[in-house]
Amino acid sequence: MAWLLVIVAGILETGFAVCLKLSHGFTRLWPTVSFAAFALSSFGLLTLALKRLDVGPAYAVWTGIGAAGTAIYGMVFLGDVVSTLKLVSITLVIVGVIGLQLSGGAH
């Protein structure tokens, strides 16, 4: 259950990063409100998960999902440049997170 919380928190991290961009420096109301809701929810779920998990692997999964998810969202929906290097880098983030998880950090 704790890992499910981390995964959902990572997805919400993607939401707060995207809303942060869409807020244009907190000058647009609804993206700013959405940013705050996503951020508080993401941090809240991560906090709950950390009661049961080691911080290193949990944080790596959370940030990995957030980083990869945000980059992919940007390329698909926001017109961010798609390049081979960017795709390879996203893959390396995911592989690194999986490697850290498999290294024995789970309970």
pLDDT band for position 102 (cuts 50, 70, 90): confident
Rg of the Cα atoms in the chain: 15
Mean pLDDT, residues 26-46 taken together: 98
Q: Between the CA atoms of 87, 94, 99 and 12, what dihedral angle is there, to the nearest 10 degrees?
A: 160
The pLDDT assigned to 77 comes to: 97
For residue 15, the one-letter residue type is G
Number of alpha helices (DSSP H) and beta strands (DSSP E) in the chain: 4, 0
